[in-house]
Amino acid sequence: MQVILYLFLAQVINHKTVFVFYLVVGINLISDIIGNYGGNLLTIIIQDRIEDRSRQQTMGLNSAIGTLVEPLGQSVGVFIITQTHNYSLAGLINALTFLVSAICLIVGRRSILSTIRVKPKKTSNCLWPIIQELMLQTTGMGAISYLGIVMVLNIVVVSFDAILNLLFIDLAPVLKINYAVAILTINITYVVGSVWGSVTKKTWIDRLNLFQLLLVTLMAPIIAFSLLLFYPNFYLILLSMFIVSFMSGKMDPKMFATMMPQIDPHMTGSVFGTISTIVTLGAPIGSTGIIILYNLYGGKIACLCALILSLSSIIWALLAYRNR
């Protein structure tokens, strides 16, 4: 939907259509809020209906479906617009997909009805002490440290993809590869790595606890940015992208599945919603800052900055875990 929005607004926005602009932005905002709310409801259903040993793969599968469908939907939307030049048609089709989803939800609602069977514990009205205790139990670190480190991880992972899109403008001719082919290959590699990481559950990485998994995941962007700085080989970049996306696909399902048994079912949506909001909040700001560095000072400075952030995060994690 966002691709259609950007293409539409780029064509029609002017002083006469400013109302339409704010209306579309409002609809998009409401859509995102409802989507996040629905995601939090899903965690409650998973907690109630899925056994502990299957929760990580269940959440990973849900994440993988989103990773697969998003680029497919964007491609279909762009194809419709380029073939028909009719933004209204693309918007109508997009709206119909929401309607079909709602109908499917209504028809199959009995299969997702949740009846909490776990006796709720007495909890505080303040979420932060609950999150703090949860982090200490599951990660061995305080909430500020763990969430801050994961936030930095999101920043460098998002920045890696953005930097590659800019870097290959200059790098593609040197590597003797077409720019469009390079970006398409990178995106396919990201999707494959993310989906594979999300749905698999019997790799050696799945045996790691959350702290160990965090350290290994932080190593992935360090390898990726080091390659960009010191040995920009296309096939090694593809491999590093696969590793980054694979580890990212492992991280979230493992984190939420590990934390879920420790949470009162009545607090699951609130706790996970707060954690997701905090972790996600800094990613667009941080990645935008790194891209600004790229535009001002070049790719090496941007990569070096991301590399320093990743290394600092590992040091932060080790110190926070040792001093727990």
DSSP 192-208: HHHHHHHH---SGGGGS
Give the pLDDT band (50/70/90) at residue 141.
confident
Residue 142 pLDDT greater than 50, yes or no: yes
- Mean pLDDT confidence for 127-152: 87
- Look up residue 324 and give its two tokens: 């727990």
pLDDT above 90 for 222: yes
**What pLDDT is stored for residue 16 in this prediction?**
58
- In terms of average pLDDT, the best of 132-141, 161-170, 198-207, 306-315 is 306-315
The predicted-structure confidence for 144-199, as pLDDT tens digits, reads as follows 898 889 888 888 888 888 888 888 887 777 777 888 788 888 888 888 888 888 88
Mark 55-81 as b/e (b = at least 16 C-beta within 10 Å): bbbbbbbbbbeebeeeeebeebbeebb
Those residues with Cβ within 8 angstroms of residue 288's Cβ, 6 or more apart along the chain or in another chain: none
Whether residue 2 is predicted with pLDDT greater than 50 in this model: the reply is: no
The model carries a pTM of 0.74
- pLDDT tens-digit map of 12-30: 555 556 676 667 667 766 7
pLDDT given at position 106: 83
Query: Is the pLDDT higher at 258 or at 1?
Result: 258
The residue ranking higher by pLDDT, 201 or 164, is: 164
Q: What are phi and psi of 8, to 5 degrees?
A: -65, -50
226 pLDDT band (50/70/90 cuts)? very high
Of the ranges 131-135, 177-181, 269-273, the best mean pLDDT one: 131-135
The answer to which of 28-37, 80-89, 163-172, 260-269 has the lowest mean pLDDT is 28-37
- pLDDT for 71: 66
> What pLDDT is recorded for position 218?
92
Distance from chain centroid for Cα 253: 11
Identify the three-state secondary structure at position 44.
helix
pLDDT of residue 22: 67
Q: Is the pLDDT of residue 133 over 90?
A: no
pLDDT tens by residue, 232-246: 888 899 999 999 989
